[in-house]
Structure 1
Amino acid sequence: MHAMQYAVTLPADYDMGIIRERVATRGHLLDDFPGLGLKAYLMRERADGSPVNQYAPFYLWAAPEGMNAFLWGPGFQGIVNDFGRPVVRHWTGLAYEEGQATGHAPLIATRRATPLGEGTPPGEAVADAVERHAVEAKAEGVVASALAIDPHHWELLSFTLWAGAEAPAGAGDRFQVLHLSAPGRHGLRSGRLW
């Protein structure tokens, strides 16, 4: 599994209805994209308490071939044409879990980045993070949750989809989920990914 996200930060006075319309008219185009586990069409806005207006889709890919087909194909080119070429972050998957609310449509998502301290051996730190993730994924309201790592910056990334309109304190940056394309979601392997 590979996690990927890019963020398009928009002006403070940007009409976020444009993003909602974009997702409403184009979101379904990835509902059957080969190799895609899931894509959460995420948005956060200043009017909702966010520090920025931002469109920030998050992807879980079953294999790099699907991610590559998207990035080098017409899907990503649409973003480039409309907003310029954003930086695309990607992480190696460590764990994935379906939550207790798996049958519900997610309303919000959270993303939490945590630096991996230099004082702990990476294998030990990752094993501990995977154990914590398995417990956190059982929280009430969790639809699905993934844990990934960026070994270039030694940063853990926790991404969770929530059925309710709120998430627990400390869950991370909060986003609205405008649409979920999930053609390969049930093919994402649960638990530790090595």
Structure 2
Amino acid sequence: MEQHELRVDEIITALTTKQTTRLARHVDFPSIDREQISWLIDVAQHDTLDTEALVKAIHFAQVALRLHERVNETLRGSKERQLLVLAGDLFSSYFFEQLAGLPKEILVSLGRTIQRVNEAKCALHEMNYASTEERVLLWLTAEFGLMQGLAAITKREWLTRQGRQIIQQQAEQLDLVAQKLLLSHLEQMAVA
């Protein structure tokens, strides 16, 4: 098994351990996607930063965001809703735990990235966009802004071959016009 695959396995094992809390009996955590972790590792590579801490931090932030998104699907005041909020908060704390060992500027940068992602999610939720193009760009930020923020920190390309495949798979949730526009944007990003 090659070194990269071993690293993916090690990180997935560590991430899985965090999901085996008491909450796991009551909350359906998002599954850990091997391709996504592999993509994260590729983008997180850096000579002086802890790659594993960066990968874990981004993963924990993604899980927290996904769990908090699902809160509105539950009844107000329900135990399920309370547990989802708790689980999201727990994964947010895991995110900050990973950042604690990294330089302060990384914390600030990722904090701003999460702010941009949340703003994009709010705009999409409120349908606050003027065109399909703006909606596609908001979707790209909402879904993959954390990867873009990570790439800005590590000075690596975020739109790898594997990343493109993942984006294209997730884009299937968009309507056909938005999918075509997204593919056009991805092609333009590759040329730039």
Same fold (TM over 0.5): no
Return the TM-score normalized by structure 2: 0.29
Larger Rg: 2
Structure number having the greater strand percentage: 1
Higher relative contact order (CA 8 A, sep 6+): 1
Return the TM-score normalized by structure 1: 0.28
Structure number having the greater helix percentage: 2
